[in-house]
Structure 1
Amino acid sequence: MKNLSLLLFSITLLVLPGCKNYVDEYVTYTINEPVFMAASEFRSTVAVEEPQPIEEQGKIVFYNGYLYISQPGEGIHVIDNRDPSNPRNVAFIELLGNADMHVREGVLYADSYVDLVWFDMSDPAEPVFKGRKEEVFPEALPPTENDFGIDYAKSMDKEKGIVVGWKTVERKELVREYKPRWWGWGGWQEDALYSSAPSSANSVGATGSMSRFAIYKENLYTVMNNMLGIFDLSGEAPVKKGDNMYVGFNVETIFSYKDCLFMGTPTGMIIYSVEDPLRPEYQSMITHVFGCDPVVVEDDIAYITVRSGTFCGQDADQLIIVNVANTKSPKHIVTYNMKSPKGLGIDNGTLFVCSDGLQVFDSEDPATIMAHRLAHFKEMDGFDVIPYNNVLMMIAEDGIYQYDYSDVTEIKQLSRLPIGK
Structure 2
Amino acid sequence: MPTRLLLCTLFGGLLLVNACRSDHDWDTNSTPYEPVYNADPSTKHVRFLPPRSTVNGGNLYTSGDYVLEEEKDSGLHVISYQDAVHPKKLAFISVPGFRAAAIKGDYLYVSNYDDLVTIRLNGFGNMQEAGRISQAWHLNDYPPFTGVLFVCADSTKGTIVAWKLSEDLSGTSAKCRR
TM-score with structure 2 setting the length: 0.70
The answer to which structure has the higher helix fraction is: 2
**Shift in Å, 1:30:** 3.4
| Partners of 1:73 and 1:142 within 8 A in 2 | no
- When the two chains are superposed, the root-mean-square deviation of aligned CA atoms in Å is 3.3
Aligned counterpart, 1:283: none
Q: Which residue of 2 aligns with 1:102?
A: 102
Structure-1 residue corresponding to 2:138:
138
Q: C-alpha displacement at 1:122, in angstroms?
A: 1.1
Q: Give yes or no for the alignment of 1:164 onto 2:161.
A: yes
1:150 deviates by: 7.5
Would you say the 8 A contact 1:73–1:99 is kept in 2?
A: yes
* Per-residue deviation, residues 374-411 of structure 1 (Å, max 9, x unmatched): xxxxxxxxxxxxxxxxxxxxxxxxxxxxxxxxxxxxxx
1:153 paired residue number: 152
Deviation at 1:85, TM superposition (A): 2.4
1:92 counterpart residue number: 92
Q: Secondary structure at the match of 2:152?
A: helix
- 2: CA distance between counterparts of 1:93 and 1:62? 15
Deviation at 1:152, TM superposition (A): 7.3
1:47–1:94 CA contact under 8 A, matched in 2: yes
Contact kept? 2:48, 2:94, Cα under 8 Å = yes
Shift in CA distance, 107/53, structure 1 to aligned 2, threshold 3 Å: same
Segments of structure 1 that go 5 or more residues without pairing to the other structure are: 1-22, 175-197, 200-421
Is the CA contact 1:113–1:142 (under 8 Å) kept in the aligned structure 2?
Answer: no
State the AA in 1 paired with 2:162.
G
> How is 1:229-248 mapped onto 2 (pairs within 5 angstroms)?
none
Residue 30 of structure 1: SS of its match in structure 2? coil
Task: Give the Å deviation of 1:129.
Answer: 1.4
- Structure 1 residues 75 and 147: alpha-carbon distance in aligned structure 2, compared to 1, 3 A threshold: farther
Where does 1:329-344 land on structure 2 (aligned, <5 Å)?
none
Measure the CA separation in 2 of the matches of 1:143 and 1:78.
32
Unmatched tracts of structure 2, length 5 or more: 1-23
TM-score between the two structures when normalised by the length of structure 1: 0.32
- The residue correspondences of 1:17-416 to structure 2 (distance < 5 A) are 27-38=28-39, 40-43=41-44, 45-140=45-140, 149=148, 151=150, 153-154=152-153, 157-169=154-166, 171-173=169-171
**Tell me, what secondary structure is at the counterpart of 2:58?**
coil
Contact 2:28 2:149 in 1 (8 A): no
Structure 1 residues 173, 39: CA separation in 2 closer, same or farther (over 3 Å shift)? closer
